A and B are shown apart, each in its own frame.
Chain A
């Protein structure tokens, strides 16, 4: 029974590899292989590549200080952080919000089997996220220090331990969020707040990482002695990477015990949480909600209700709301320092600043892609917009507007910060503003277009359309691509001034917006009405 459920979970997780939503049919074997390769290239290449880069720079210094174990500790902790970062947001949804929980619980299937099939997927995802951070470090160690079979085996055991730690921590956090959700009225916002705290901590450590690693490498021997003296487990864990059998057995036992404790907690509480409904006070409907509104305002309200109803949706498709203003504030604080640090001989870089600032804002704003999964999230209630006397273009506009508004407002703040801090000519300022403020419309229309072209309406867990769909991936990487093309193109062309370059990009962007609008109004509306 476990095997059947696990296969179902796996199919849902990797649905886009096997099923072409656009053509509404299964992919060929080569198509599936291509999707898998793309995934490996993206995750392994980008994240794994940058980890390997860091590993190369610290491996030898730590080894020469005689603290190789600290090298493994360092990357194990990065892997745990990355694994948890990747898993924590969807563990709660995966476990407790799956639409087929009631169905499965009503069948003659032991509760533990249902839980096991769900958490197995969490284990796999945690392993994937952590392995892209840890395995490159193991490989780099082999390359830098020479082939060592014991270290290789030890590294693999350590990866296994990391997977258990990531899994157990993510499940524990999922359980905490579930418990909170049952008690708090606005559970989606509580979930967002809890996740933001966690992500805030993650990024705090992430931004401090360079300083911490540099300090660690410079004083490796001192820190090594301190850890050995006061945190023996950490020392012992690091020895796993060197293939020491006793520490491997000890750490493996501790990790398994931790995972087993979490497993029994999950198993014991799953039924009561999954079948509970959040407490809600009986109250009269507020009078103001009965006030008549225009159709477009009402549709916009509906889309904002959808967006704010799910912490998963807000966190995965609206994080730019925090990042874009944060970048603006950082510029206000550190902007002058950064500008003065550019050496005079790098005049080209100074001239490119308006372009870089637009590109940077685009990359950060790409985290907002709420329009991409918005069609899929209509799910089984799609019949409503299709049966009501609604012009589909109005529906599409409302979905686009949500992404546009949650991106444009932070972008305006960012622009204000830039204008205050960065000295630019009038032409540069105007073109910087136009190009930056056009991007939210461009990315919103693009996300919407992809969302209509590649919807998934048969999901059983909202994680699928929000995190695991091709439409979301294309929307994010498409917007990133625009930002990278903007900056890269400028340095390749070199011949044009920043103002003219931005003007050209804005013009192209405006044309693209007009074309996408036209498509959405005609073909897009027609597709949406017959999905």
Chain B
């Protein structure tokens, strides 16, 4: 579903991502962990087509993001770490805007918006301007918008930040359900317990370089993910 080969992204002299390669298959929930400034967001933004990069290739379901960005973007959904949405729109308007962009028919969008708004207890707030939403509500709205068009790959940057426990639980269920249907999810997190329980595979990035990746068993063995992560972080 997602193939990253030798990805390198530089900001002036500094390499934010250095020769990173990663493969994500259908049905996989893939966790991406690393310390602050390790290069997680840069990698995710490059996959989402927001950042251009100097070297390497990113292919989504066989399509190269650099060559056919629009085709790739049709197959993905991206949720950033801080959901800065259109504050001047109401929640309903925003969701319909996203649905229009993805060409979702009226009946389908109506059904999905009602379903997900109900799940996240957001129905009563959809008519209110996004400016009046809390961080968690914006996050829920961003999640609903990501699920609207049945993307093949969902990329999320710290998706659990700001969510209440119930919403976090619902999101985990939705992630699993999405992958069971043949989709894939690539997300970054600092909550290692969540990554350990939820992810099929995990990748650890440090200083822009991928230092370990594989199934949960391959990466952590008998130890906890936290112990492995801290050990790897301590290594020079």
A interface with B by C-beta (< 8 Å): 277-278, 280, 282-286, 289-295, 297-298, 301-302, 305-306, 309-310, 379-381, 383-384, 386-391, 529-530
Given contacts A381-B86, A389-B73, contact A284 B103 (CB under 8 A): no
Q: Does B234 contact A (CB under 8 A)?
A: no
Q: Does B99 contact A (CB under 8 A)?
A: yes
Q: Does B126 contact A (CB under 8 A)?
A: yes
**CB <8 Å contact, A282 and B127:** yes
Which residues from chain B contact A305 at a C-beta distance below 8 Å?
86, 88-89, 93
Q: Does B56 contact A (CB under 8 A)?
A: no
**CB <8 Å contact, B98 and A388:** yes
Q: Report the minimum CB–CB distance from B232 to chain A (whole Å).
A: 30
Which of A278, A286, A390 has a CB less than 8 Å from the CB of B101? A390
Query: Could you pull out 24 A-B pairs where Cβ atoms are within 8 angstroms?
Result: A278-B132, A284-B127, A289-B90, A289-B92, A290-B106, A292-B99, A292-B100, A292-B104, A293-B100, A295-B101, A302-B97, A305-B88, A305-B93, A309-B88, A380-B84, A381-B84, A384-B85, A384-B86, A386-B48, A387-B50, A387-B78, A389-B72, A530-B51, A530-B52
**CB <8 Å contact, A387 and B92:** no
Between A277, A379, A381, A389, the greatest number of chain B beta carbons within 10 A of the residue's beta carbon is seen for: A389
B interface with A by C-beta (< 8 Å): 45, 48-52, 69-74, 76, 78, 80, 82, 84-93, 96-106, 109-110, 113, 123-129, 131-132
* Distance between Cα atoms of A446 and B82 in the complex (Å): 33
Which residues from chain B contact A301 at a C-beta distance below 8 Å?
93, 97
Which residues from chain B contact A381 at a C-beta distance below 8 Å?
84-87
**CB <8 Å contact, A294 and B98:** no
**CB <8 Å contact, B82 and A380:** yes
Given contacts A280-B128, A282-B124, A291-B106, contact A389 B92 (CB under 8 A): no
Which of A292, A387, A391 has a CB less than 8 Å from the CB of B105? A292
**CB <8 Å contact, B49 and A290:** no
Which residues from chain B contact A298 at a C-beta distance below 8 Å?
96-97, 100-101
**Apart from A278-B132, A289-B96, A383-B80: 18 A-B pairs, beta carbons within 8 A:** A277-B131, A280-B129, A282-B124, A283-B127, A285-B91, A285-B127, A286-B127, A289-B93, A295-B100, A302-B86, A302-B89, A379-B84, A380-B84, A384-B86, A386-B50, A387-B76, A388-B101, A389-B102
* Distance between Cα atoms of A293 and B127 in the complex (Å): 19
Which residues from chain A contact B125 at a C-beta distance below 8 Å?
282
Across chains A and B, the number of contacting residue pairs, with CB separation under 8 Å, is 106
* Distance between Cα atoms of A471 and B82 in the complex (Å): 28
Between B88, B91, B104, the greatest number of chain A beta carbons within 10 A of the residue's beta carbon is seen for: B88
Residue of A nearest to B86 (CB): A381
Which of A285, A290, A306 has a CB less than 8 Å from the CB of B88? A306
**CB <8 Å contact, B92 and A383:** no
**CB <8 Å contact, A386 and B49:** yes
**CB <8 Å contact, A285 and B97:** no
* Distance between Cα atoms of A390 and B100 in the complex (Å): 11
* Distance between Cα atoms of A346 and B81 in the complex (Å): 68
Q: Report the minimum CB–CB distance from A221 to chain B (whole Å).
A: 57
Q: Report the minimum CB–CB distance from A51 to chain B (whole Å).
A: 38
Given contacts A285-B127, A295-B103, A298-B97, contact A383 B91 (CB under 8 A): no
Given contacts A302-B86, A384-B85, A388-B73, contact A286 B103 (CB under 8 A): no
